[in-house]
Amino acid sequence: MNNQENEINKIEEGLSLKIKSGEITMKPKAYFILKTILITTVSVVLFLFVIYTVSFLIFSLQTSGIWSLPSFDFHDIRILLSSLPWLLIVLSIVLILALEIFAKRIAFVYHRPIMYSLILIIIVVFLASFLISLTSLHSNLFERARNQRLPIVGQWYRNYGTPRIDNIHKASDKERRNSIESFNINKTQEELNPSFSQPIVQ
Amino acid sequence: MIILESEQKDEKIALLVQSGQSEFFGILVKRYEEKMRRYAQRFFSDNEDRKDIVQDIFIKAYINIKSFDAERKFSSWLYRIAHNELVNNLKKKNNIFLSLFDFDLDTFFPQSSSEDDPNEKIDKKNMSKLISECLDELPDKYKEPITLYYLEELSYKEIADVMSIPTSTVGIRIQRAKKLMKTIFQKKGYKYE
């Protein structure tokens, strides 16, 4: 027992000496505040980046035609697998896992099984990404990339935003207008508007 | 109004240290040194290693004391530092690289386990004796929760905070540790109920 008490005193004395001599000092409160701000900022940026990447993945699937594959047989699955933007898929998975690791710092998250927090993150990310894919954000960026007016991620848009399967892809506004115009040229006024030639019955 | 040092709560003393009265840190060292030594003893048999680790725990606690939230329990905060220190030292000693996720299926899926029962207090006293006898034979992932629960008397939630794992996982690991202990005692020819 005496030995133990001696050891306790030794540790206590050793620490007191180190504190008094300034060998060990407390980190200031500002350090922890800054650390919290930094972690929060990184988490928010990561969250936004995950949403951006997944929404870009959805956009890429839509423009490449994979999203519109009408049916599935063995041949389709083979085409599908070879046409999927794997790099984007892997990047999205890695980013979602990174987000989970960051979220695990919060007591509310680590008190629950990983499965719950992971499912919640996936649902929130996919919902937000799907909503973003409904806006014209990626289409506009894609147009800019095509016109060489988008630095850094321009190459990504040119790589992943172009048709992949037998030229099936989501039509751009310009393509849609061209297609309507060429359709209209081949139709007479009567074919386009049947009510035009019909007598008005009163 | 004179309050004896020994009567002051840990959290109040920590607040005094935070305000710059470093001399009060010694009281916290005195109060927890034995507990930290006992906690480290479950993972490190070498006396010198243990002494260094206990000292490092208190050094880290002092350096980071301003991150302690006095609304919370000081003991849980200190055990969290001790847990990190022990895990890092174990990984260093066994040459294990820090895994990014520390993945374990126990923490992945939801588990059903009962919360700590206050009626279990009688059981706790007997258990602490039994645990001391067979702790070395338990896998590391069961050693820690069972030590913290029966020997250090932390609640499931406090253990979950110390180890950063779900509360249900704490319960399931304690249950499994008890089952393993039963097998160990049966193998040794002891009676275990």
Residues A173-193 pLDDT 10s: 666 677 666 666 655 555 555
Domain assignment present for residue B100? The answer is no
Which of B36, B61, B93 represents a domain boundary (last residue)? B93
Residue B88 sits in the same domain as residue B156:
no
| pLDDT, tens digit (0-9, with 9 covering 90-100), for B95-134 | 665 554 456 777 787 777 665 555 565 566 677 777 877 8
| pLDDT, tens digit (0-9, with 9 covering 90-100), for B131-157 | 877 888 888 788 889 989 888 888 999
Residue B79 sits in the same domain as residue B130:
no
Q: How far is A184 from chain B (nearest CA, A)?
A: 59
Residues of chain A with pLDDT > 70, as a percent, come to: 71
B58: contact with A, CB 8 A cutoff: yes
Residue B30 sits in the same domain as residue B80:
yes
Residue B88 sits in the same domain as residue B21:
yes
Residue B112 sits in the same domain as residue B81:
no
- The count of domains in chain B is 2
Residue B119 sits in the same domain as residue B69:
no
Token pair 């840190």 in the structure block, residue: B25
Domain assignment present for residue B112? The answer is yes
Which residues of A lie closer than 8 Å to B, measured between beta carbons? Answer: 4, 7-8, 11-12, 14-16, 18-20, 24-29, 31-32, 97, 101, 104, 107, 110-116
Q: What is the mean pLDDT of residues A92-110?
A: 90
Q: How far is B10 from chain A (nearest CA, A)?
A: 16
Locate B193 and state its tokens: 């109920």
Query: Which CATH number is B38's domain given?
Result: 1.10.1740.10
Q: What is the mean pLDDT of residues B62-73?
A: 94
Domain assignment present for residue B177? The answer is yes
The closest alpha carbon to B24, from B76, B61, B54, belongs to B61
Residue B181 sits in the same domain as residue B113:
yes
- Which among A4, A97, A114 has CB closest to B107? A114
Q: What is the mean pLDDT of residues A99-103?
A: 91
Residue B55 sits in the same domain as residue B124:
no
Angle made by CA atoms A119, B106, B175, in degrees to the nearest 5: 140
Binned at pLDDT 50, 70 and 90, residue B1 comes out as very low
Global ipTM: 0.76
What domain range includes position B138?
Answer: 105-188
